[in-house]
Amino acid sequence: MLSSLVRKSSIKRYQDRRVPFSYAFVDIFLPGVLLSLLHIAFGTGVWGSEYQWMTVLSGIFFATCIGIQGGYSRYNERAFAKKLEVTFKTWFLNVFFLLVLLFFYLSSLKFDRWIVSAWVVITPFAVMFTKVMIQRYSRGFAQAKIQVAVLGRHYEFNELEYAMLEFQGIELTYFSLSDSVDIEENILKMAPDYLLLNLEAPATSQLIKELTHLDLKGIRLIVLHRFMEAFLRKCYIPYDGEDLSYLEKIRSYSLKNYLLKRAIDWAAVIGIGLICSPLILYAVVKVRWQSPGSVLFRQCRVGLGGQNFVALKFRSMHENAHFNPYTQKEDPRIFPFGNVMRKFRIDEIPQLWNVARGEMHLVGPRTEWDILVENYEKEIPYYHERHLVRPGISGWAQVCYPYGANLEDARQKLMYDLYYIKHWSVWLELETILRTVVVVLGRQGH
């Protein structure tokens, strides 16, 4: 009953209308600007009417198609993966339209193929980069916060979640059902952008009546799990484990998606293997020099379907170090170059062999030690759901959440893993890879 009150329209709201207007400006004019710059830098002929037509038509068609998809709406899907999808799909549809037009109507005009080819490839990346910069710096001049009224305290947001919400310009104001005041009156007085239902107990008939009135008066209602998926990009896991909907919501990859992932895997195995071969040799020498013993660390990890396999890593700890299932900050068991490998994730490179063998993906839930998994499955509801897919060298949880050292951290990371499985797409895969590069270059590895 309660969930039926929640609207199913897009729920993200831009703080300032200048942001979508800026996006439209970029889509209309940036393709033409890039084409003219390429022509100035590399062109041999004159800037003729054919380029002028390309400039005008590409901008108009590109902006129109993105506008039809709601790209300039104040309420808009702002996940980076979604932006990648819309931008690249729309741009290449735009290129197809221009090619058809060129074939039928502009075939007598002459274009520099190299310039046009470079323009086709560079433009969507330039558009994405410009929009990301606009979104980042727009938070500095946005005057209004996104106001969220929170009804109840069933789930307590942690410091990282508060920081992520603040980064998006979201301000939470809590209301308690235990107060004798009129909830409906106070919510209407506040006039929030959203009313987050974070109830400690099932809603009473009186509360449902008040929420219905609020819904009819234009207050956007949103339940906790949808709020977390939209704004925090993680799937909420109830502590009581009573929400059995997880058993139908989380599904493994389709055959098409699996083949796409394996194509990405093999591209990574070949590309990273060739590029990093000098680094691999250097790591072998450094490990043997600083900590005599085996270069590789082998450990039984849990993979697809809960089946165990042996995962390979460069050894970063001294052999025969004391047992502790969790790694601590400044862990004395780790030798100096081991710390360097962990910071830059060099120790993960041997897992490319596991990827080639089909035991892992490049991106997926983190591989966990079978001893830890046994404990997690007892304490964390739905933990086994992460084994619907193969683990990965990097993953959504690893790039979104700091290094975990306890059971609650494992639960938080599982929320990100389930989000990744549930919402997998090539675009989310690319976003995760890009975030991994940022983490590695920023020395934020674990």
Six-digit token pair at 261?
């992932």
Secondary structure of 373-436 in HEC code, one letter for each residue? HHHHHHHCCCHHHHHHCCCEEECHHHHHCCCCCCHHHHHHHHHHHHHHHHCCCHHHHHHHHHHH
**Cα–Cα dist 305/291, whole Å:** 36
CA distance 349 to 313: 7
Distance, in Å, from the CA atom of 357 to the CA atom of 119, rounded to the nearest integer, reads 39
Pair of tokens at residue 114? 């190299």
pTM of this structure: 0.84
Beta strand pairing call for 308-314 and 296-302 = antiparallel
| Cα 316 off chain centre by | 29
pLDDT in tens, 136-169: 777 655 556 788 999 999 899 999 999 989 888 8
Q: What is the dihedral of CA 409, 232, 360, 125, to 10 degrees?
A: -140
Q: What is the pLDDT of residue 146?
A: 84
Report which DSSP code applies to 443: T
Average pLDDT across the chain, whole number: 84
pLDDT digits (tens, 9 = 90+) for 261-286: 999 999 999 999 999 999 999 999 99
Q: How many CA atoms lie within 13 A of 248 on its CB side?
A: 3
Q: Is the pLDDT of residue 347 over 80?
A: yes
Query: Considering Cα of 346, then 347, then 351, then 353, what sign does the dihedral take?
Result: positive
CB-CB contact of 341 with 314 (8 Å) = yes
Instruction: Reply yes or no on whether the pLDDT at 440 is more than 70.
Output: yes
Q: Please name the residues in contact with 342: beta carbons below 8 A apart, sequence gap of 6 or more.
A: 316, 334, 445, 446
Mean pLDDT of 190-219: 87
**Measured between alpha carbons, how far is 416 from 229 in angstroms, rounded to an integer?**
9
214, 186, 231, 220: which is closest to 78 by C-alpha? 231
DSSP state string for 106-168: -TTS---HHHHHHHHHHHHHHHHHHHHHHHHHHHHH--S-EEEEEE--SS---HHHHHHHHHT
pLDDT band for position 197 (50/70/90)? very high
pLDDT at 52 over 60: yes
In the chain, the largest separation of any two C-alpha atoms, in whole Å, equals 78
Residue 247: alpha-carbon gap to chain centroid: 23
CA distances from 179 to 6, 147, 175, 182, 195 (A): 24, 21, 8, 8, 17
Give the residue with greater pLDDT, 179 vs 184: 184
- Whether 415 and 380 have beta carbons less than 8 Å apart is answered as no
Which residue, among 49, 39, 28, 48, has the nearest Cα to 117 in the 3D structure? Answer: 39
What pLDDT is attached to residue 323?
A: 59
- Asked whether 398 and 368 are in contact (CB, 8 A), the reply is no
Bridge partners for 379 per DSSP: none
Q: Tell me how far apart the alpha carbons of residues 34 and 288 are, in angstroms, rounded to a whole number.
A: 51
pLDDT per residue over 56-74, tens digit each?
A: 889 999 999 998 887 787 6
144-232 has which fold?
Answer: Rossmann fold (3.40.50)
DSSP string, 307-320: -EEEEEEE--B-TT
What pLDDT does 241 receive?
65
Q: How far apart are CA 132 and CA 307, in angstroms?
A: 41
pLDDT at position 115, please? 86
Taking the C-alpha atoms of residue 123 and residue 299, their distance in angstroms, rounded to an integer, is 45
Query: Residue 317 has what pLDDT?
Result: 84
Query: Dihedral sign, CA of 283, 285, 291, 292?
Result: positive
Structure tokens at 18: 């200048």
d(CA 345, CA 436): 10
What does each C-alpha distance from 399 to 326, 442, 444 come to in angstroms?
Answer: 19, 11, 9
What's residue 257's pLDDT? 93
Structure tokens at 118: 């470079």
Position 75 pLDDT exceeds 70? no
Write down how long the chain is.
Answer: 446
> Residue 310 pLDDT > 70, yes or no?
yes
Percent of the chain residues past pLDDT 70, beyond the cut: 86
Tokens of 433: 């890879």
Domain definitions of the chain by residue range: 18-141, 144-232, 255-441
Left if phi > 0, otherwise alpha if psi is -120 to 50, otherwise beta: which for 252? beta
| Contact indicator for 62, 31 with CB cutoff of 8 Å | yes
- Give the model's pLDDT for residue 121: 92
pLDDT confidence bin for 9, thresholds 50/70/90 = very low
pLDDT of residue 344: 86
Mean pLDDT, rounded, for 399-410 = 82
Question: Which of 39-48, 175-184, 240-249, 399-408 has the lowest average pLDDT?
Answer: 240-249
Percent of the chain with pLDDT over 90: 40
Contact 45, 110 (CB under 8 A): yes
Per-residue model confidence (pLDDT) at position 8: 46
Of 127-136, 260-269, 328-337, least confident by mean pLDDT is 328-337
Q: Which of 230, 217, 183 is nearest to 203 (CA)?
A: 183
Q: Residue for token digits 């916060």?
A: 145
What pLDDT does 228 receive? 93
Residue of 304, 301, 308, 309 whose CA lies nearest to 384: 304
